[in-house]
Structure 1
Amino acid sequence: MPRMGRIVLANYPHHVVQRGHNRQVVFAADADYQRYLTDLRELKDAFGVKVYAYCLMTNHVHLLLAPGESTTGLSQLMKTLAARATRYRNRLEGRSGTLWESRYKSSVVQTDTYLLACSRYIELNPVRARMCAEPGDYPWSSYRGRISEDAPADWLDTDPYFLALGADPGARRERYAAFVKQAIPEEETRLIRDALQRGQLTGSDRFVEEIERIAGLRIERRGQGRPRKCSEK
């Protein structure tokens, strides 16, 4: 089998990160963040991609995306988002040139074991960066919209494992908030981070074998950790 390049699979979630060119600032004002989210909301439907989680940081974005039957939708979404943000920034600053790194990074996520863990990882980015004490304090991630009864992000897609957290929206919000507050094993954080940076899969050995069969690829293995389930303390 050939070795793995970037894998994109229909109907699987993908953890995606795109960084500013040379780590430059891509969001300098509230309007910059708002515009990107407006574009994301519009384009996800245009390209048939589900958005499960997001976090916009000063110089990069984290997204949890699931393309539909057309796998090209994910790359088209990222390309169009980047192009719109670049035109917007260049117009504001009266400049030309690139805003983003030329290639975004992505990792296919094992849905049953790691999807909620990846959502948590993404939404805790501002806390790890010491930009805020609690994920709900940060306005540019999906966390507020996920747990807010008063201002839900109704454009976000809801994955089946979030739905399984409770019988009604209130129970799901409460249980997810508790999940985010749990102590997170270092091996879980390391696995999610390293899988993304190295273009590996976010999942177990069995998941790697499953994707090898689906994609006809030989995939690099590494030590695996397993995240705690929402019910674990």
Structure 2
Amino acid sequence: MPRAKRFYIPGCVWHITHRCHKKEFLLKFARDRNRWLDLLFRAKQKYGLEVLNYIVTSNHIHLLVSDNGNRDTIPKSMQLIAGQTAQEYNIRKKRRGAYWEDRYHATAIQVDTHLASCLIYIDMNMVRTGVVSHPSEWRWSGYNEIQNPKKRYAILNYRRLMELLGCESLDALKEVHGQWIEDSLKKGKPAREKKWSRGIAVGSREYIENIQTKLGVKAIHRKIHESKDSSELREDQSPYTAIFGTENERLRQENTYRWGLF
């Protein structure tokens, strides 16, 4: 099955997931998780990547980022991080072959309660797998950086995160974020929600329909799926070469652009 084409839609918040090849535990060593975060900080400095949250597990990563208006920022950042991580690991381990499973997946997230839910979903990742009982116990995550803000070498863009969540100060952000996590923990072990990492976009019905409009002809055969508290625009299973012809690519270019790939 041909891979889906990925398109850049200006002004979105993106939830990015990237898994190690064959779901191998290639990030199981602390030095590799630390290195991934070092490279994430470097991407922030070099390309202006606006990071809202993140977590590095033993075999995949979650990254929540805000569009800064430059369509090359996210793909160039991911190329830097993923490429350097893979190269250094393979050299050190005298290993050959793919390090990452295909390319990263990006899902557009509506900036409202869906953004808060996605933020919590990322923080609760290692609790969900049973590795830790509280997000604070996993140090390779944005949870600790929100609850203990850094004055230097911060990866998170606190200003942007506060703006999107409607918080007037870092103390307010810490308080509301901490309460969200505690409320989630009281509900018991969280379940995996595939909507955050399998679709094109997650949000209200109105938001999803707006995304469809911006995608134009590129949204043909992509279906809206409804759940209790959100809607999700998913990829179609049809071969993409049969859907997107040369003439179609000329349509709605003012709204969508081909995202750089690596």
In structure 2, C-alpha distance between the alignment counterparts of 1:180 and 1:161, rounded to whole Å: 18
Q: What secondary structure sits across from 2:70 in the alignment?
A: coil
The answer as to whether partners of 1:66 and 1:74 remain within 8 angstroms in 2 is no
Per-residue CA distance 1:140-172 (angstroms, 9 max, x = gap): 11000101257887331132233x24x432232
Unmatched segments (≥5 aa) in structure 1: 228-233
One-letter amino acid matched to 1:139? R
The answer as to whether partners of 1:8 and 1:108 remain within 8 angstroms in 2 is no
Unmatched segments (≥5 aa) in structure 2: 231-262
2:229 aligned residue (226, 230, 233): 226
Question: Per the alignment, do residues 9 and 44 of structure 1 end up closer, same or farther by CA in structure 2, a change over 3 Å counting?
Answer: farther
C-alpha RMSD of matched pairs (Å): 2.5
The answer as to whether partners of 2:19 and 2:61 remain within 8 angstroms in 1 is yes
Question: Per the alignment, do residues 133 and 173 of structure 1 end up closer, same or farther by CA in structure 2, a change over 3 Å counting?
Answer: same
Report the Cα offset of residue 215 of structure 1: 2.6
Aligned to 2:135: 135
Aligned to 1:61: 61
The answer as to whether partners of 2:40 and 2:155 remain within 8 angstroms in 1 is no
Question: Per the alignment, do residues 151 and 136 of structure 1 end up closer, same or farther by CA in structure 2, a change over 3 Å counting?
Answer: farther
The answer as to whether partners of 2:54 and 2:142 remain within 8 angstroms in 1 is yes
In structure 1, C-alpha distance between the alignment counterparts of 2:181 and 2:127, rounded to whole Å: 11
Question: Per the alignment, do residues 69 and 151 of structure 1 end up closer, same or farther by CA in structure 2, a change over 3 Å counting?
Answer: closer
Report the Cα offset of residue 5 of structure 1: 4.4
In structure 2, C-alpha distance between the alignment counterparts of 1:150 and 1:42, rounded to whole Å: 16
One-letter amino acid matched to 1:226? D
In structure 2, C-alpha distance between the alignment counterparts of 1:200 and 1:151, rounded to whole Å: 35
One-letter amino acid matched to 2:42? E
Aligned to 1:169: 170
Per-residue CA distance 1:48-86 (angstroms, 9 max, x = gap): 321100010100000002232222321222122111011
Report the Cα offset of residue 8 of structure 1: 2.6
Q: What secondary structure sits across from 1:70 in the alignment?
A: coil
Aligned to 1:230: none
In structure 2, C-alpha distance between the alignment counterparts of 1:19 and 1:115, rounded to whole Å: 22
Report the Cα offset of residue 189 of structure 1: 6.5
Question: Per the alignment, do residues 25 and 151 of structure 1 end up closer, same or farther by CA in structure 2, a change over 3 Å counting?
Answer: farther
Q: What secondary structure sits across from 1:202 in the alignment?
A: strand
Aligned to 1:145: 145
Taking structure 1 as the reference length, what is the TM-score of the superposition? 0.84
One-letter amino acid matched to 1:221? I
In structure 2, C-alpha distance between the alignment counterparts of 1:15 and 1:196, rounded to whole Å: 7
In structure 2, C-alpha distance between the alignment counterparts of 1:54 and 1:120, rounded to whole Å: 11
One-letter amino acid matched to 1:38? D
Aligned to 1:17: 17
Aligned to 1:47: 47
The answer as to whether partners of 1:10 and 1:66 remain within 8 angstroms in 2 is no
Report the Cα offset of residue 99 of structure 1: 0.6
Report the Cα offset of residue 30 of structure 1: 1.6
The answer as to whether partners of 2:128 and 2:191 remain within 8 angstroms in 1 is no
Question: Per the alignment, do residues 45 and 149 of structure 1 end up closer, same or farther by CA in structure 2, a change over 3 Å counting?
Answer: closer
Q: What secondary structure sits across from 1:15 in the alignment?
A: strand
One-letter amino acid matched to 2:178? A
Q: What secondary structure sits across from 1:182 in the alignment?
A: helix
Question: Per the alignment, do residues 214 and 45 of structure 1 end up closer, same or farther by CA in structure 2, a change over 3 Å counting?
Answer: farther
Deviates more, 1:67-76 or 1:91-100: 67-76
| Overall identity of the aligned pairs, in % | 23
Question: Per the alignment, do residues 168 and 195 of structure 1 end up closer, same or farther by CA in structure 2, a change over 3 Å counting?
Answer: closer
Q: What secondary structure sits across from 1:111 in the alignment?
A: coil
One-letter amino acid matched to 1:178? Q
Aligned to 1:75: 75
Aligned to 1:231: none
The answer as to whether partners of 2:36 and 2:85 remain within 8 angstroms in 1 is yes
Q: What secondary structure sits across from 1:11 in the alignment?
A: coil
The answer as to whether partners of 2:48 and 2:73 remain within 8 angstroms in 1 is yes
One-letter amino acid matched to 1:207? Y
Per-residue CA distance 1:7-66 (angstroms, 9 max, x = gap): 432331111110010111121322111111010011133233211000101000000022
